Structure 1
Amino acid sequence: MTDQNHSLMFSKGRGVTSLGNRVLKIVPSKQTGPTSNPKITTGVNRKNLSESSIRIIATPTPTAINTFFYIQRIGYYETVPPFSRNAPGLDAYNIFFTVAGTGTFKYMGEEYVQRKGDIVWFDCKKKYSIAALDKGWSYYWLQFNGNSARGYYKEYTKRGDNFTNVSSELNTYRSIFERLIELSQATSIRREILVNDALVHMMTILLENRVDSSLTLNSVPEYIRETVDYLNWHYTDKTPLTELASNVGVSKFHLSRSFKRYVGVTIGQYVMANRLRYARDLLKYTDKPIRQVAQMCGIPQPSHFTAMFKEAEGVTPLSYRKHWEETGYYETEEPTP
């Protein structure tokens, strides 16, 4: 079968079809890869890769694109030095999971060493490159997207880096990747639903790995609860940190450090998130001018408001409003802060 032939082959012990997948090449089902028979490779650049390396290119349905998290590409690579790859910017998110050996990852001007148990989750719109540092660098990789992917990614990277070591849960993540590879080859109409479930599960446990395991709902001090409650009702006000701290009886430095530890974001980030939440409601359900919306949210400079809104939502306030106007949904009562 040539790379131009997209037809599907069926014969005993080999050949795979997968709903919506573009199968460019089918290889014998000899058990050499990380998954059970059969294996698919779709135009893999075999230079400096072992025969166990696989890649699957998936074409999601419109339902998956509009509703679920969905896979664009997924694979498992066993590299042979000198292995390296340079990737163009793409509208997607990638997760790399090293299971053996050592490689390097260059991203946004920094270079990082990847060892067994390391996971890197990054935005593909920013170009990156990878290379093997020794023989046998092996990793699973996943390119995916979805309506909420940006939000999950921002939550994952809010502490300022893209990396997590999951050595203590190596088999858990390996099983998830193998499950995703298996699902990417399935013919069931439930495939995309199950893919979504597996992706959400992986992202959830990745986020859990970024949180201090000693923190529980019952461990949050009362003064933090009081501060959160106050900010939930007064986020449109400009309340100085010294006043917030005085209200709950601690120093401003202690409040600032403790708030970030227990809530997960700074006080300023928490206030801004509430302001933008209120802004979204005002844009959806009222026809107030953008300048007035900004003022009502506690951001008096319209240009600053627009910049903050676009950074958070990916579109300008005006574009956001137009999208919601096109849905024909409206409410007669003005939203409250």
Structure 2
Amino acid sequence: MEERTYQRKNDPKKKVAKFCFTESLMFTTLALLVVGMMTCGFAIETNILARGPASFMFGDKSPCSPSVLSLSNIKYHSDHEYYTKLREIAPLPPPVFEGDHASLCTNRIHLKRKQRSFRNCLPISGRKDSSFCTAADRMDLIKQNTSEIFCHASVLHMLLVEVYEELKALGKSPVVLYGSLLGAVREEGIIPFTEDADIGYSGKLRVGDELQRLLWQKGYNLFFHQIWRVCVAPTHPLAAKLYDPNSSFATSFVVPYVDLYYMNQERRTGEWKIQEMIKVNGSKMIPDDLVRPFSQVTINAQQFDTVHDPVHLLKRLYGEEYMIPKPRNSNYLQ
């Protein structure tokens, strides 16, 4: 009985059948593998061809457009003529970004992550000559045709007003400072050749707070680069009109922007410390009676709060001849 069982286990016919089955299974597996590789290759080739010639010209930086914000979804803080005229404009087509600018098509920002550079700012360039840009106003941006060159100061005025309004709505006690204050006192406007606008604020600003979210919903980007700053985002309703495809990308301090300066009152002395304030007699502190109550200055026919004694501040910053325009240098906050 045991011998017959042994013979069945070693039956040659069984071995042949088993070998044939194994060989058939291996062949089938190999055939499926080849078919799979051919299918995958065909799919990849089809996908490449479907992307069109732009992909071969620009690689992963193909021309693209951001999703600009709709004016119907934006809530402004006043009924100023600018906002009325802005809403009357037919929606502009989004700008088209190519090359390095194509990275601006990523419209989302991380509201819980601190942005630290100008990389999310819309590339903008405008004229800065006094002969053309004296009394530059944000209204100029909606009166001009897209092809016309506008003033850098016109964009600064737009930024100044809307950032100021948001800070005020959030109880941050904004005040016009430094170069923006100088322009207000000199000519009740924006200095034509200045690079930025300057606003002081009280209270802390943090990543992901209401200011960052509210500004983003209006087409502005709040970011931290040495201090808090604000620039025009690629999603702004006027992005197509403001965008300069020939402007250098992500170069710091080239586009129009707002500097935000933290103002803090010392509990013990009552004096104020303002970011970037120069030292006088070894101290950066300013007495409370020179800061409060706030006074007002006019910029393009609108009133803005500033420190109680703006003349004292301007003399401290720019000297007795603060009313005389001077070329900007690294130590001159104009």
Task: Provide TM-score, normalisation by structure 2.
Answer: 0.23
TM, length-normalised to structure 1: 0.23
Q: Which has the larger radius of gyration?
A: 2
Q: Which has the higher contact order (CA 8 A, sep 6+)?
A: 2
